[in-house]
Structure 1
Amino acid sequence: MARHAVRKNQMPTSGARRALLRAGLTVTAAGAAVAAGAVTASAAPAPATTDAASPVQILTSAVGSATSYGLGPVKDLKLNPLAGTGTDPLDNAVGTQIADFKPVSTAALTGPLAAGNSLSELPVVGAAAGILPG
Protein backbone atom coordinates (compact mmCIF):
# COMPACT_ATOMS: atom_id res chain seq x y z
CA MET A 1 0.00 0.00 0.00
CA ALA A 2 2.75 2.45 0.88
CA ARG A 3 4.63 1.59 -2.30
CA HIS A 4 1.58 2.47 -4.39
CA ALA A 5 1.30 5.84 -2.68
CA VAL A 6 4.93 6.66 -3.46
CA ARG A 7 4.48 5.88 -7.16
CA LYS A 8 1.38 8.00 -7.38
CA ASN A 9 3.11 11.01 -5.83
CA GLN A 10 6.06 10.74 -8.23
CA MET A 11 3.89 11.37 -11.27
CA PRO A 12 3.54 15.08 -12.06
CA THR A 13 0.02 16.37 -12.29
CA SER A 14 -1.37 17.83 -15.48
CA GLY A 15 -1.06 21.30 -13.93
CA ALA A 16 2.62 20.71 -13.22
CA ARG A 17 3.15 19.40 -16.75
CA ARG A 18 1.42 22.45 -18.18
CA ALA A 19 3.58 24.74 -16.05
CA LEU A 20 6.76 22.97 -17.19
CA LEU A 21 5.65 23.22 -20.81
CA ARG A 22 4.96 26.95 -20.44
CA ALA A 23 8.32 27.49 -18.77
CA GLY A 24 10.09 25.63 -21.57
CA LEU A 25 8.28 27.62 -24.24
CA THR A 26 9.10 30.86 -22.43
CA VAL A 27 12.79 29.98 -22.25
CA THR A 28 12.75 29.02 -25.94
CA ALA A 29 11.08 32.29 -26.93
CA ALA A 30 13.53 34.25 -24.79
CA GLY A 31 16.46 32.47 -26.44
CA ALA A 32 15.07 33.23 -29.88
CA ALA A 33 14.65 36.89 -28.95
CA VAL A 34 18.23 37.07 -27.66
CA ALA A 35 19.51 35.40 -30.84
CA ALA A 36 17.51 37.82 -33.00
CA GLY A 37 18.89 40.73 -31.00
CA ALA A 38 22.42 39.45 -31.49
CA VAL A 39 21.89 39.17 -35.24
CA THR A 40 20.45 42.69 -35.32
CA ALA A 41 23.33 44.03 -33.27
CA SER A 42 25.87 42.35 -35.51
CA ALA A 43 24.11 43.79 -38.57
CA ALA A 44 24.93 47.32 -37.45
CA PRO A 45 26.59 49.37 -40.17
CA ALA A 46 30.27 48.60 -40.40
CA PRO A 47 32.93 50.97 -41.62
CA ALA A 48 32.88 51.11 -45.40
CA THR A 49 35.63 49.04 -46.99
CA THR A 50 35.89 47.79 -50.52
CA ASP A 51 36.28 44.08 -49.79
CA ALA A 52 34.06 43.65 -46.70
CA ALA A 53 31.08 41.33 -47.12
CA SER A 54 27.75 42.24 -45.65
CA PRO A 55 26.35 40.11 -42.80
CA VAL A 56 23.62 38.87 -45.13
CA GLN A 57 26.22 37.63 -47.62
CA ILE A 58 28.17 35.95 -44.85
CA LEU A 59 25.02 34.28 -43.50
CA THR A 60 23.95 33.14 -46.97
CA SER A 61 27.38 31.68 -47.63
CA ALA A 62 27.39 29.87 -44.27
CA VAL A 63 23.92 28.38 -44.81
CA GLY A 64 24.87 27.30 -48.34
CA SER A 65 28.02 25.59 -47.12
CA ALA A 66 26.20 23.90 -44.25
CA THR A 67 23.51 22.50 -46.52
CA SER A 68 26.06 21.38 -49.13
CA TYR A 69 28.17 19.44 -46.67
CA GLY A 70 25.33 18.38 -44.36
CA LEU A 71 22.54 17.44 -46.77
CA GLY A 72 24.45 16.66 -49.95
CA PRO A 73 25.50 13.12 -48.95
CA VAL A 74 21.91 12.28 -47.93
CA LYS A 75 20.96 11.95 -51.60
CA ASP A 76 23.26 8.97 -52.06
CA LEU A 77 22.51 7.04 -48.87
CA LYS A 78 20.89 3.63 -49.23
CA LEU A 79 17.39 4.05 -47.79
CA ASN A 80 16.71 0.40 -47.01
CA PRO A 81 19.61 -1.33 -45.27
CA LEU A 82 17.79 -4.66 -45.46
CA ALA A 83 17.46 -4.55 -49.27
CA GLY A 84 18.59 -7.75 -50.93
CA THR A 85 18.34 -9.80 -47.74
CA GLY A 86 15.80 -12.47 -46.93
CA THR A 87 14.38 -10.41 -44.10
CA ASP A 88 13.48 -7.30 -46.09
CA PRO A 89 9.97 -6.24 -44.98
CA LEU A 90 9.55 -4.02 -48.06
CA ASP A 91 10.22 -6.85 -50.50
CA ASN A 92 6.58 -7.68 -50.97
CA ALA A 93 3.79 -6.64 -53.26
CA VAL A 94 0.06 -7.08 -53.27
CA GLY A 95 -1.86 -6.97 -56.51
CA THR A 96 -5.36 -7.51 -57.77
CA GLN A 97 -7.28 -7.48 -61.01
CA ILE A 98 -11.00 -7.08 -61.33
CA ALA A 99 -12.66 -8.28 -64.54
CA ASP A 100 -11.01 -6.72 -67.61
CA PHE A 101 -9.53 -3.74 -65.78
CA LYS A 102 -5.81 -3.13 -65.62
CA PRO A 103 -4.17 -4.95 -62.66
CA VAL A 104 -3.28 -2.81 -59.63
CA SER A 105 -0.22 -3.60 -57.50
CA THR A 106 1.85 -2.07 -54.71
CA ALA A 107 5.08 -3.13 -56.45
CA ALA A 108 5.47 0.33 -57.99
CA LEU A 109 5.63 1.82 -54.50
CA THR A 110 7.71 -0.74 -52.63
CA GLY A 111 9.87 -1.91 -55.54
CA PRO A 112 12.41 0.94 -55.61
CA LEU A 113 12.90 0.74 -51.84
CA ALA A 114 13.17 -3.05 -51.91
CA ALA A 115 15.85 -2.74 -54.61
CA GLY A 116 17.96 -0.61 -52.27
CA ASN A 117 17.78 2.64 -54.19
CA SER A 118 19.01 5.90 -52.75
CA LEU A 119 16.94 9.06 -52.39
CA SER A 120 18.09 10.46 -55.73
CA GLU A 121 17.11 7.22 -57.54
CA LEU A 122 13.49 7.11 -56.35
CA PRO A 123 10.89 7.85 -59.04
CA VAL A 124 9.09 10.94 -57.67
CA VAL A 125 11.32 12.00 -54.80
CA GLY A 126 14.48 11.82 -56.91
CA ALA A 127 13.46 14.89 -58.89
CA ALA A 128 12.77 16.80 -55.69
CA ALA A 129 16.12 15.66 -54.28
CA GLY A 130 17.79 17.46 -57.16
CA ILE A 131 17.40 20.74 -55.28
CA LEU A 132 19.70 19.45 -52.53
CA PRO A 133 23.21 20.74 -53.09
CA GLY A 134 26.14 18.45 -53.59
Structure 2
Amino acid sequence: MTTSLGGHSKLQFTAGFYPRDSVFQDLLGDHAVDASVETRLKFSASRARWDFKADYQFIAVHADTLRLAAGLPGSPLPLNTVINDDRRWWNLTTAFGDRKTTAIINRLDRLSVGYTTERTAWRFGRQAISWGNG
Protein backbone atom coordinates (compact mmCIF):
# COMPACT_ATOMS: atom_id res chain seq x y z
CA MET A 1 0.00 0.00 0.00
CA THR A 2 1.22 3.48 -0.90
CA THR A 3 0.07 6.52 1.08
CA SER A 4 0.66 10.23 0.80
CA LEU A 5 -0.07 13.05 3.24
CA GLY A 6 0.46 16.72 2.43
CA GLY A 7 -1.13 20.12 2.51
CA HIS A 8 -0.62 23.84 2.79
CA SER A 9 -1.71 26.94 4.68
CA LYS A 10 -2.46 30.38 3.28
CA LEU A 11 -2.76 33.64 5.19
CA GLN A 12 -4.39 36.69 3.64
CA PHE A 13 -4.85 40.23 4.92
CA THR A 14 -6.43 43.06 2.94
CA ALA A 15 -7.47 46.59 3.75
CA GLY A 16 -9.61 48.87 1.62
CA PHE A 17 -10.27 52.57 1.97
CA TYR A 18 -13.34 54.21 0.42
CA PRO A 19 -13.92 57.85 -0.58
CA ARG A 20 -16.96 59.76 0.70
CA ASP A 21 -18.94 59.34 -2.52
CA SER A 22 -18.49 55.54 -2.62
CA VAL A 23 -21.56 53.30 -2.34
CA PHE A 24 -19.50 51.17 0.05
CA GLN A 25 -19.37 54.02 2.62
CA ASP A 26 -22.98 53.30 3.66
CA LEU A 27 -22.24 49.62 4.27
CA LEU A 28 -18.64 49.62 5.50
CA GLY A 29 -17.70 53.13 6.55
CA ASP A 30 -14.48 54.66 5.29
CA HIS A 31 -12.45 51.43 5.44
CA ALA A 32 -12.69 47.63 5.57
CA VAL A 33 -10.24 45.09 6.94
CA ASP A 34 -10.28 41.38 6.03
CA ALA A 35 -8.12 38.58 7.46
CA SER A 36 -8.27 34.87 6.72
CA VAL A 37 -6.37 31.61 7.09
CA GLU A 38 -6.99 28.54 4.95
CA THR A 39 -5.43 25.15 5.66
CA ARG A 40 -5.79 22.15 3.35
CA LEU A 41 -4.78 18.62 4.31
CA LYS A 42 -4.50 16.08 1.48
CA PHE A 43 -4.47 12.31 1.97
CA SER A 44 -4.29 9.59 -0.65
CA ALA A 45 -3.79 5.84 -0.52
CA SER A 46 -3.53 3.22 -3.23
CA ARG A 47 -3.22 -0.52 -3.36
CA ALA A 48 -3.04 -2.45 -6.62
CA ARG A 49 -5.86 -1.04 -8.79
CA TRP A 50 -7.72 0.72 -5.96
CA ASP A 51 -7.18 4.27 -4.67
CA PHE A 52 -8.70 6.58 -2.07
CA LYS A 53 -8.42 10.38 -1.84
CA ALA A 54 -9.58 12.84 0.81
CA ASP A 55 -8.92 16.59 1.08
CA TYR A 56 -9.97 18.53 4.17
CA GLN A 57 -10.18 22.33 4.42
CA PHE A 58 -10.22 24.52 7.50
CA ILE A 59 -10.97 28.19 6.81
CA ALA A 60 -11.21 30.97 9.38
CA VAL A 61 -12.33 34.41 8.18
CA HIS A 62 -12.92 37.75 9.85
CA ALA A 63 -13.86 40.15 7.07
CA ASP A 64 -15.70 43.44 7.08
CA THR A 65 -16.47 42.91 3.39
CA LEU A 66 -18.68 39.87 4.16
CA ARG A 67 -21.36 42.47 4.97
CA LEU A 68 -21.43 43.52 1.32
CA ALA A 69 -23.13 40.30 0.21
CA ALA A 70 -26.05 41.00 2.57
CA GLY A 71 -26.10 44.72 1.81
CA LEU A 72 -25.93 44.37 -1.98
CA PRO A 73 -28.05 41.29 -2.86
CA GLY A 74 -27.97 40.37 -6.53
CA SER A 75 -24.90 42.51 -7.12
CA PRO A 76 -22.86 41.72 -10.25
CA LEU A 77 -19.70 42.50 -8.24
CA PRO A 78 -17.56 39.57 -7.03
CA LEU A 79 -18.39 39.77 -3.31
CA ASN A 80 -16.95 37.76 -0.41
CA THR A 81 -19.36 35.10 0.81
CA VAL A 82 -19.07 32.11 3.13
CA ILE A 83 -18.57 28.84 1.23
CA ASN A 84 -21.49 26.43 1.40
CA ASP A 85 -22.49 23.22 -0.34
CA ASP A 86 -26.24 23.86 -0.46
CA ARG A 87 -26.33 23.24 -4.23
CA ARG A 88 -24.11 20.15 -4.29
CA TRP A 89 -25.30 16.57 -4.07
CA TRP A 90 -23.34 16.02 -0.87
CA ASN A 91 -23.19 18.81 1.68
CA LEU A 92 -19.83 18.18 3.34
CA THR A 93 -19.33 21.72 4.65
CA THR A 94 -20.07 23.05 8.13
CA ALA A 95 -19.78 26.76 8.90
CA PHE A 96 -19.84 28.43 12.33
CA GLY A 97 -19.86 32.08 13.30
CA ASP A 98 -22.20 34.96 12.62
CA ARG A 99 -21.48 34.85 8.83
CA LYS A 100 -21.81 38.65 8.78
CA THR A 101 -18.15 39.31 9.53
CA THR A 102 -16.80 36.05 10.99
CA ALA A 103 -16.90 32.43 9.85
CA ILE A 104 -15.11 29.19 10.66
CA ILE A 105 -15.53 26.54 7.99
CA ASN A 106 -14.78 22.81 8.05
CA ARG A 107 -15.05 21.07 4.71
CA LEU A 108 -14.35 17.76 3.01
CA ASP A 109 -13.54 19.22 -0.37
CA ARG A 110 -12.59 15.96 -2.06
CA LEU A 111 -13.56 12.42 -1.09
CA SER A 112 -13.35 9.57 -3.60
CA VAL A 113 -12.57 5.93 -4.21
CA GLY A 114 -11.35 4.68 -7.57
CA TYR A 115 -10.57 1.54 -9.52
CA THR A 116 -8.27 1.61 -12.56
CA THR A 117 -7.74 -0.98 -15.29
CA GLU A 118 -5.53 -0.82 -18.38
CA ARG A 119 -8.34 0.82 -20.36
CA THR A 120 -10.73 2.38 -17.85
CA ALA A 121 -10.69 4.41 -14.65
CA TRP A 122 -13.76 4.34 -12.41
CA ARG A 123 -14.27 7.01 -9.76
CA PHE A 124 -17.00 7.47 -7.21
CA GLY A 125 -17.02 10.44 -4.88
CA ARG A 126 -16.98 14.17 -4.74
CA GLN A 127 -14.62 16.82 -6.03
CA ALA A 128 -15.78 20.35 -5.32
CA ILE A 129 -14.69 22.52 -8.22
CA SER A 130 -13.75 26.04 -7.22
CA TRP A 131 -12.82 29.03 -9.32
CA GLY A 132 -10.39 31.77 -8.44
CA ASN A 133 -8.67 31.36 -5.07
CA GLY A 134 -9.95 27.82 -4.42
In which range does the TM-score fall when normalised by the shorter chain? under 0.3
Return the structure number with greater helix share: 1
| TM-score (ref. length: structure 2) | 0.21
If each structure's strand is expressed as a fraction of its own residues, which one has the higher value?
2
Larger Rg: 1
| TM-score, with structure 1 as normaliser | 0.21
